[in-house]
Amino acid sequence: MNPYTGSHFDEFLKKEGILEEVTVRAHKRLLALQFADAMRHSKMTKSELAELYAEFTDEDGALAEEGMDDFARSLAAEDAA
């Protein structure tokens, strides 16, 4: 008999000790799919996206917190154009 019958998938992942890892991977995959969709819709290349991203990063390559909104607005503007 399956001990997980009727339980939630998250409970199974938690018991297996992989809930956090699976959740992080799922979020990364979703973000990648959303970027790919936005790029396809706006006909933006990976190089153009990298240039746009570089405009809003600090010297360590991390998106500056205040730059995140600007970066998102720029993507939306590119998408609308």
Could you tell me the pTM of the whole model? Answer: 0.53
Whether residues 58 and 73 share a domain: the answer is yes
Coil vs helix vs strand at 58: coil
For residue 14, how many other CB atoms are within 10 A of its CB?
A: 13
Per-residue pLDDT, 64: 60
> Do 34 and 56 belong to one domain?
no
Give the domain range for residue 57.
Answer: 44-81
Asked if 13 contacts 20 with a C-beta cutoff of 8 angstroms, the reply is: no
Task: Label residue 59 by pLDDT band (50, 70, 90).
Answer: low
Residue at token pair 């500056």: 64
CA distance 47 to 25: 24
18 plus 32 within the same structural domain: yes
| Judgement on whether residues 55 and 80 belong to the same structural domain of the protein | yes
pLDDT at 20: 93
27 with 55, same domain: the answer is no
Domain count, the chain: 2
Q: Which residues contact 64 (CB under 8 A, 6 or more apart)?
A: 56, 57, 58
